[in-house]
Amino acid sequence: MSFPKKGRKFRPISGKVFPDSHARMAVPGDRDFATVIAETLHRAFGNTHAAVKTVVAFTGAGERTVKNWFEAKNAPSGENLVGLARHSEEVLEVFLLMAGRGDVLSAKKLMDTRDKLVEMLEIIDQLRGDQMTENTDRN
């Protein structure tokens, strides 16, 4: 067996194709996943260094990684997305919209509104109770 005099300069055709490294998940409005998440992070946490530190604390991801999310250079992994959704209503809502689960989002908003209404009714009852107490004290 003899060795070739020159190294091979071509790769054999194997039929395997690597995915495009720039391909991203399509979302409504022709914006890619990383851009949507970056916009949501800015809305939810702000544009400060403290916002980055907060997201680092929520996810356990590195600071440079989180900065890349804020700059839409990369998007969070599934595990980190779950951590973000756990701590941010905005991230959860945009995730549900991207997943095409507007029905779940509507149900969530309905329950949130109901809870706020119950809280307001309790405050009204407390105020009415205070007013009734004041009226009986006057008589």
Annotated domain spans of the chain: 28-100, 102-139
Please name the amino acid found at residue 135: N
**If you search the block for the tokens 């890349």, which residue do you land on?**
68
Residue 19 clears pLDDT 70, i.e. is over it: no
Domain range 28-100, CATH architecture: Orthogonal Bundle (1.10)
CB 70 within 8 A of CB 59: no
pLDDT interval class at 108 (50, 70, 90)? confident
What pTM was computed for the model? 0.60
Strand partners, 32: 26
Report how far apart, in Å, the C-alpha atoms of 46 and of each of 38, 86, 98, 135 are: 11, 17, 22, 48
| H or E segment and range at residue 27 | strand 26-27
Model pLDDT for residues 26-79, shown as the tens digit of each residue: 444 557 899 999 999 999 999 999 999 999 999 999 999 999 999 999 999 999
